[in-house]
Amino acid sequence: MSQEFSPPTSEWYYPSDAVKKQAIVSDYEALYRKSMADIEAFWDEQAQKLHWFEPWEKVLDTSDAPFYKWFVGGKTNIAYNALDRHVKTWRRNKLAIIWEGEPGDKQTYSYWRLWREVNKCANVLKSLGVKKGDRVTIYMGRIPELVISMLACAKIGAVHSVVYGGFSEHALADRIEDAQSKVLITADGAWLRGNIVKLKDIVDEAVHRSPIVESVLVVKRTGHDVKMQQGRDYWYHDLMGLPIASPQCETTVMDAEDPLFILYTSGTTGKPKGILHTHGGYSVYTSTTLQWVFDVKDDDRYWCAADPGWITGHSYIVYAPLIIGATEIIYEGAPNHPYPDRWWRLVAEYGVTILYTAPTAIRGLMRFGDAWPNRHDLSSIRLLGSVGEPINPEAWRWFHKVIGKEKSPIMDTWWQTETGGFMIAPMPSVPLKPGSGTRPFPGIEADVVDEHGVSCPPGVDGNLVIKGPWPGMLRTIYGDPERFKKQYFSAYEKQGWYLTGDSARKDEDGYFWIIGRNDDVIKVSGYRLGTAEVESGLVSHPAVAEAAAIGVPDDVRGNVIYAYCMLKAGVTGSPELVDALKDHIRHEIGPIAVPTKIEFVTALPKTRSGKIMRRVLKARATGAPEGDLSTLEE
């Protein structure tokens, strides 16, 4: 299933009466119409469901568009909504997080316990000099302390920048540098498939490159020997045991538009973009979308199997589930460790009712056959979810039949780091078509348009755009407001529309079908990578003069990367050099960016103006027609 597969658009799956009866939203059409009739009134109503220290004066301020402001003048704090308000109710004793480590160790956090840990951690951060507005970089595996430190930052108004634990020392250093973080929170290591990923060693390298970091807080997870630098490095458990780490901590009152976090993502240049989200609008948007799309109730056991280090985890593990007071599962390790039924074991053991994952994981687990899931009681599942890339109908049907037992609708959620939350997604009461995210969320006007902004008729590909602002939208690219304007709002400047970077088509029923990225972004196993990032990684190696990277369809990972390198004069290609280059990328970016194939070439196809024609390389790699070559340089 490539980025460009064409699924059938006529296969319908209707929700059962049981599903429809318990759905929070029973009539999508009516709700959507109501939301579009008065978008501000609609969001006003949703925002009322949260706690505000002071109400807003205005729902939406468009005066400085595209720098939109939501809930202007409102005072809140996302951590207050996620924790403080629950511990004042019966929910204080409800489980917030059920965590299982890869080696099999377990931890549970009630809202009360989580609130106390977050308060203690917030006080520790304060003792390290962290103040409102300061950036804190977090680099850890999937352990409770990751969630705790994110919430602790939010609580005191610090801006977290979580860097996924699979990124290398260079990628980490770049992100520390861009955010100018003086404090970094990490762990000694992380468990992955029975091995230790030595996070602290990577941090030491990164801090060596970005010496702006003054303090490093280290959670002991794997317990192997690590170097601790006196005066800079502190054990988390040591500081959490000091009187300074009181379990009482006042929540900082934040303006709705105050920054909550920066999350780096790939774009069309080699430099990752720091996507900035805020306290107010993001709280409203993520909690509303989760509650309605996944129909989360108090007795659910919700499991989003993503990593908190990506936007899916930020929005739908750390913030939204806690805001709505849910009980969730977090699992540290790999889905197939020690056996390919680890996930199904977890579902059965904890009685998971909602499981939200990615097509690449579904395809990976599908390969092991039905016997692994069939060995476990998966009857607790009532809803499934998919995110990250288009789901091919074959994987959809397997997920629906073998995991969901044909009674659990699949919520295929289309969204992006930039959008903060679901944009095109069904709700349980909406009839489904495998491979389509169905229709836009209430309050969202999505369309497929041509380059002039004219709506494409059904079945015709075009650019997916969002025609108006929404509370969860990114506010800027950190430190680069010009790039924000140019990247997202220049293609349809006159109309003021947001450009998603995806190509899509609508069908006769108004359902949206995502085709894939139409910029130089590749989705590898659902991870987002820029061709330019991989290319600049390659040319930073002394043997490489020029490089081009492309995404090539792959059955399990969606896409894999192929790279073409022109070597410097006097250097000859060899299998050893291929290995050396792969290793180099592993250190420059991380294992996820390593090309599956590296080929040495004597020239790259370029336009006369010198731009690499990746389209030509891609056509050759996939055996597709090369298309119009008139701009190709001789």
Per CB under 6 A, the segment of 105-113, 189-197, 247-255, 387-395 that binds ligand WT7 is 387-395
- Does 311 sit near ligand WT7 (CB under 6 A)? yes
Q: Quote the least distance from Cβ 164 to ligand WT7, whole Å.
A: 11
Q: What angle do CA 86, 145, 49 make, to 5 degrees?
A: 25
Find the binder of ligand WT7 among 86, 517, 541, 584 (CB under 6 A).
Answer: 517
Say whether residue 108 binds ligand WT7 (CB under 6 A): no
Rounded to whole angstroms, the Cα distance separating 609 from 607 reads: 5
Q: Which of 347, 387, 430, 477 binds ligand WT7 (CB under 6 A)?
A: 387
Residue 412 in the binding site for ligand WT7 (CB under 6 A): yes
Q: Examine residue 443 and tell whether it contacts ligand WT7 (CB under 6 A).
A: no
Q: Could you say which of 273, 523, 557, 614 contacts ligand WT7 (CB under 6 A)?
A: 523
What residues contact residue 578 under an 8 Å CB cut-off, 6+ apart?
A: 598
Neighbours of 221 (CB within 10 A): 22
Tell me how many residues contact ligand WT7 (CB under 6 A). 22
**Contact (CB, 8 A) for 445 and 468:** yes
For residue 564, give both structure tokens: 């073409």
The nearest distance, CB 346 to ligand WT7, in angstroms, is 22
Q: Token digits for 474? A: 């990114």
The minimum distance between CB 506 and ligand WT7, in angstroms, equals 14
396 binds ligand WT7 (CB under 6 A): no
Pair of tokens at residue 569 = 């004069």
Q: Point out which span in 59-67, 151-159, 380-388, 613-621 binds ligand WT7 (CB under 6 A).
A: 380-388
For residue 362, the minimal CB distance to ligand WT7 (Å) is 12
* Helices 28-37 and 39-47: angle between axes, nearest 10 degrees: 110
Q: Does 437 bind ligand WT7 (CB under 6 A)?
A: yes
Q: Are 6 and 507 in contact (CB under 8 A)?
A: no
280 binds ligand WT7 (CB under 6 A): no
Two tokens, residue 56: 């807003």
Residue 226 token pair: 């690590």
Q: Does 102 bind ligand WT7 (CB under 6 A)?
A: no
Q: Should residue 543 be labelled a site residue for ligand WT7 when binding is judged by CB under 6 A?
A: no
416 binds ligand WT7 (CB under 6 A): yes
Helix (H) or strand (E) holding 208: helix 199-209
**Binding segment for ligand WT7 among 328-336, 413-421, 549-557, 606-614 (CB under 6 A)?**
413-421
Q: Is the dihedral of CA 464, 458, 628, 528 positive or negative?
A: positive
d(CA 371, CA 470): 44
Q: Is 389 in the site for ligand WT7 (CB under 6 A)?
A: yes
Examine residue 600 and tell whether it contacts ligand WT7 (CB under 6 A). no
For residue 304, the tally of other CB atoms under 10 A from its CB is 25
514 binds ligand WT7 (CB under 6 A): yes
Backbone CA torsion sign across 26, 30, 36, 40: negative
Per the CB < 8 A criterion, the answer to whether 411 and 428 are in contact is yes
Site for ligand WT7 in 132-161 (CB under 6 A): none
Binding site for ligand WT7 (CB under 6 A): 265, 311-312, 386-390, 412-417, 437, 500-502, 514, 517, 523, 528
